[in-house]
Amino acid sequence: MVAGGQALLPTFPDPFMRQGWRRLTYVSIATMKREVQAVEDPGRIQRSVCVYCASSRSADPAYRDAAWRLGVTLAEQGLGIIYGGGAVGSMGALADGALSRGGHVLGVLPRFMAELEWGHKGISSLQLVEDMRTRKHLMLTQSAAVIALPGGSGTLEELLEAISLKRLGLYLNPIVLVNTRGFFDALDELLTRCVREHFMDERHLRMWQIVSEPEQVPEAFAAAPAWSAQARGFAAV
């Protein structure tokens, strides 16, 4: 948690996830034939958070403004960013905001997107992977927390996967939603209804925190309830 100047550290509660990370490191990095521009120093990765966000250039400018401010906020907290590697929309704004304050930004980009020139050319490091599944796995397992900005189906899929893994006790770190323009109100209501309809346990509502402004994210990290692998005991309802 970001409390008392202490950096967030990643948690790998499940042996399969730890082994899966080692396996993916070998397959996706060691066999890339140097197509990866840079491989992160593990010490640097441990101080990074994963940010899910969109690449839309058509969305309201308020979303890009919030993304830029989040990048600034994380950089000023000394936290690196792991994100999808894009150059435009909220993705580009997030990276640019962090870079403007000397922050460290790692992009994880599927090779086909690099071929389409969707990658941000100014970030600290761009890691190429074979497919979307590997991208999601690396972003999550290299990070010490998840932040979701408003976005489309891809952003929502990534966020809900992180929430599902936390429900199963496979991911234990904070998950924070930045609710720009009330974007996540409907999702929050839907997940609350999942509890009311007994598809989820009431304790599952503690898996994520919602903030109105990007500057509130560090405080949400510090206030996030502790979560452990014992959550598996109430994963099934």
Residue 115: the pLDDT is 82
Query: 7-19: per-residue pLDDT in tens?
Result: 444 444 443 344 3
Query: 127-140: per-residue pLDDT in tens?
Result: 999 999 999 999 99
Residue 39: the pLDDT is 38
**Domain count within the chain:** 1
Of 34-38, 61-65, 124-128, the range with the lowest mean pLDDT is 34-38
5 within domain boundaries: no
Residue 41: the pLDDT is 43
181 within domain boundaries: yes
Is pLDDT of 102 > 50?
yes
Residue 114: the pLDDT is 81
199 within domain boundaries: yes
Residue 117: the pLDDT is 82
* Distance from the Cα of residue 185 to its chain's centroid: 19
**Host domain of residue 208:** 35-224
207 within domain boundaries: yes
DSSP per position, 132-162: HHHHHHHHHHT-S-EEE-S-SHHHHHHHHHH
Query: 110-120: per-residue pLDDT in tens?
Result: 998 888 888 99
Q: Region 174-182: what's the mean pLDDT?
A: 98
Query: 40-88: per-residue pLDDT in tens?
Result: 443 443 489 999 999 999 999 999 999 999 999 999 999 999 999 999 9
15 within domain boundaries: no
29 within domain boundaries: no
Rounded distance between C-alpha atoms, residue 194 and residue 215, angstroms: 29
CATH number where 56 lies: 3.40.50.450
Residue 230: the pLDDT is 95
Residue 10: the pLDDT is 45
Give me the sheet containing 175-178, strands edge to edge: 125-129, 105-110, 80-83, 48-52, 146-148, 175-178, 209-211
Q: Which residue has the higher pLDDT, 37 or 61?
A: 61
2 within domain boundaries: no
Residue 46: the pLDDT is 44
121 within domain boundaries: yes
